[in-house]
Amino acid sequence: MSDPVILWLRQDLRLHDQPALVAAAHEGPVIPVYILDDAAPGDWAIGGAQRWWLHHTLDAFGAALKEKGSRLILRRGDAIRELHKLCEETGASRIHALRHYEPWWRKAEDALGDRLCLHDGNHLTPVEEVTTGSGGLFKIYSSFWKALATRMPPDTPLPIPRSIPVPAKWPKSDTLARWSLLPTKPDWSGGFDVWTPGEDAARKTAKAFADRVAAYDTDRNLPSIDGSSRLSPHLHMGEISPRDAWALVGGGKAALTFHKELAWRDFTHGVIIDRPDYADANGREKFDKLKWRRSPKDLEAWQQGRTGYPIVDAGMRQLWTTGWMHNRVRMIAASFLIKHLLIDWREGERWFWDCLVDADFGNNAVNWQWVAGTGVDSNMWGRIMAPLVQSEKFDAAGYIREWVPELAKLPDTVIHDPETAGCRLDAYPKPLIGHREARERALEAGRAAR
């Protein structure tokens, strides 16, 4: 029997379209391993919501491997050290893995040297191959999409290997229970029952979305209906590849908007290749001079969905309850924190990182800087979303009734803006600040920074 090979898994917990698995299975007996390394990311170790998801997806992936006659080895600690230890314990000389672009994983991949064989498979096409005429990475999404589109559709997804060779002896493994990834007291995950982590659920979600993708361009902006794909946490954890999602959802004009959002994910990973500090530093240095407000009270009100702006509060409560927020409402809530409350975008970015089941390092950073206007490709600082107007424009009445029950009995003519309508409820807070006052304060802060 040939020497075993290590399959190092991170955010790629799937059997379909898994180039690293295919290559490893072709080479020899495969030892699949997931290493929980909380130290390597530094301040960006995964948050509570993602830890909940990780527990369940590791459980599902372990069961899928078991059905194939294999198993999942779990280790905790420094990923580089644990991989070297596994090679020594098993006699493996090669490690196969999918390429990742988070700065800590790029550092780990470099440190493993020639022992590591990297494969592309977590993106529509290798991000580093989509370049400008001068050979650099794109800083503007629209230009990136034009270049990427010439390479689409993506390659055909790979099938699951017919068999996964197993080693004569398995190394020791941790147990999921010992990792304590699930919340205990208090257990805040009761509303997470809307999710089913794992590859099977990811593929079912993609197939179901295919039936309504034609309406996606319009419906995705309406919080009160189920118009989102719901694929974001599955894509983030790598339970489904972007190529497979493209294939299952379908091509053509009907799916164009969805394809562009898959491409946005690729684009944001290109940004963090170029700017590894993008989650912590303004993309435009001039905003380093902007004077943010420090208001723990206002920040807490925003986090708890007690701002007095119904659409913002509905979104923040949905986030806390389910680990997810409607995309249109994410923009509104983020804009409110930054422009209305004048609180540093990094405070919101950190909160989303801890609360979102789909919190992706590149996406989270680029999206927050896009809303803030501080990024390399973003709105201007002076674009300040009017939450009350947005709420009515995108027909959020039903959404507000679901997530802000104090307002559930109000008619559509009042529910978006109870304060202006003269409807004051003891159970619902007054707005933290008026829209016009907030807008002027934000514009003045921007002028002062320039």
Q: Which residues are catalytic?
A: 261, 264, 292, 327, 345, 368
- Identify whether the C-beta of residue 45 lies closer than 8 Å to the C-beta of residue 353: no
Contacts of 61 (CB under 8 A, 6+ apart): 9, 13, 14, 72, 198, 199
Closest CA to 83 of 117, 33, 119: 33
Q: Are 203 and 249 in contact (CB under 8 A)?
A: no
- Nearest CA to 183 out of 13, 35, 56 is that of 56
Question: For the chain, how far is it from start to end, CA to CA, in angstroms?
Answer: 67
Could you tell me where the beta strands, DSSP code E, fall in 276-385?
none
Query: Are 314 and 306 contacting, i.e. CB atoms less than 8 angstroms apart?
Result: no
Q: Determine the Cα–Cα distance for residues 433 and 158; give it in Å rounded to an integer.
A: 53
Residue 315 and residue 367 in contact, taking contact as beta carbons nearer than 8 Å: no
Q: Where are the alpha helices (DSSP H) in 397-434?
A: 397-403, 412-415
Partnered with residue 98 across adjacent β-strands are: 119
For 191, other C-beta atoms within 10 Å of its C-beta total 14
Tell me, what amino acid is at 367?
N
Query: Which H or E run contains 83?
Result: helix 79-90
